[in-house]
Structure 1
Amino acid sequence: MNKKTVHIRIQKQSLVLDYFFRGRRFRESLGLKNTSENFLLAKERAAILEKTLQTLDVRMKESGLQKQSLQPEILKQVISDERSKTVFGYKLSRGLDDYLIENFKKGSNERHYRDSVNSFINVCGDIDVKTVAAGEYHKFKEWMLKERSYGTALTRINYLHILYDWFIRKNKYTNENPFTKLKPRKKQNIVTISDEHWTIILPELKSQSLELYNYIYFLKCSGFRKEEALQQKWSDVYFDKDVIVVTTFKDNSNEELFPLNLRKNELKKHLLEMKENSVDEHLFHLRNVDIIKRFQKTLELLGLPKYTLHDIRRTFGSYWATRITQIQLMKLMRHKS
């Protein structure tokens, strides 16, 4: 770098960062008017930019990019904070791959780690491991608690905590672990959906969206986990043998058979009706987030409790708990214990 100091200039009553990088001069408008408060903010941004330029210069040298080896337009993009994280930083997605290579073979743990990191990336982006701090953690935590169940939020955050413990041990992260583990809630009474409420919910769903109705009714008849249901294909359904092949969500390599002939064949009848209107190999074409929002909106419209999709599974399990043995129930629910 020819010049490491980033200067704050005033241009047409607005604050501008003026600096040199690899023999070229750049000016970056902050979009801030020249006030004492904004000037302090500009100083903070200048300090961050200066550190970014220093780090970027080292990384470019390590990558074999010599002085002025990039076009000005490309160089300007690379300098931006977000761009430097994406192109030259140790991204979270790459860190996860390194962690899994060292610690795990493919299996349920890998899926949980990938789901946790992908959820974080959806909210905060695939940013440099070193840039994750309390702000990103709280943003992610708030989103998880709003859009997902507490149990899912706990799982995602706790897996990220483990991942960052590894980053710290490998000197990939030098601060304290930014992910504070959530504590399990005290066990509460199992929430189930009464038949009376089902008689209100199902007709309303059917009037709003046939596809959403088909999905919710499928969960009611099968007790599938919501992710298991979304990944089902028609090639998994064997009407002649009265079974559907399900890949257990918590163990991606484990396939089990689920009966279609429970409770007077209600699931089989439902699938046969769906099959008549199927358009491709998938049973459902819905996004997890959309399902949750639309289901909750329907419950609110009807003035019913805020049931979760997992409460549908609990309702299914509670019904069969009094009708079959514990071992049979474990197999039906695909529980390991």
Structure 2
Amino acid sequence: MKHKILSALIILCSSLQTLWAQKSLINYEDSLFSIDDVVCVGERPHYLTPSQTISGPTLQNLSTTSVADALKYFSGVQIKDFGGLGGLKTVNVRSLGSQHVGVYLDGIRITNAQNGQVDLGRYSLSNMESVSLYNANKNERLQSATEYASAATVYMQTRKPDRTTLTAEYGTGSFGLNKVKGYFSLKDRLFVDAEYQHTDGNYKFRFRSLSEDTIGKRHNSDIRFYRLEAAGFYKGLATHVYYYNSERGLPGPVIRRLTDQWDSTDRQWDQNFFVQSSYKKMWENFGLRTNLKYSFDYLHYLQDPSTNAAAIYCNNHYTQQSV
């Protein structure tokens, strides 16, 4: 008797489940909605050449201090670092050479008549809004003729301060490294950025050859530089002032034996100054852009045989002024 009642309950539950499924299916088939046509609208990119950009908080959060270090995150880029800490840092794209890369700050080109290479290690990220790399150049109106002559272009855009702030930093490290940095900004008006750095650069190293196994010490690796720049903004007008001064030593190589190697005493002094202004105004069908810049660059290189008998006397001065 119990088995018959249990079987009847099972059959009843199965029948109810079937009826519920049919009812649900009927309700689903009856629940039809009609909507209007859907139109997808997209904006066609205005540029034709590939580009890479780091900007805003992403740029400021990088664990780097110079523009050259930020460019390491781009593809197809090779950074050449000459002289170690504080040395010349150049960039080339697709192995075309640094002379084929145009470097622009706020739309105005940075030039170098001595060797055609721009030292990107001298430009700080603390006041940069964005750093962009283009194959060829930007595809937009109001460009200079030099932008069309480069195989690749690096664009650095100065950040307009969005708040009033004052910051100061101090850092120290190995090999006598000491650096001080200060930054002041007035919202939407101006900023002043200053930096000083000094390091001895001397370190011990082990030299092994067939004739000797000894401990040597690197000499003449010191560097001292300070950088001061400021920028002002008023509507479409932007003015930027930059000054850089450095003195550094150039350590010599170890060729055969450490014991008979003369210490290098080569010295180099650099001074870089420029002031530039740009104004840009866009209307519906017209645009106006004006650029004005004056720059002064000086380099002094000294190689003195009186302090290094293995060297040839060399006292070179390079001076460049451009408007």
Normalising TM by the smaller chain, what interval? under 0.3
Give TM-score scaled by structure 2 length. 0.25
Bigger proportion of residues as helix: 1
The structure whose RCO (Cα within 8 Å, separation 6+) is larger is 1
TM-score, normalised by the number of residues in structure 1: 0.24
Q: Which structure's CA Rg is the greater one?
A: 2
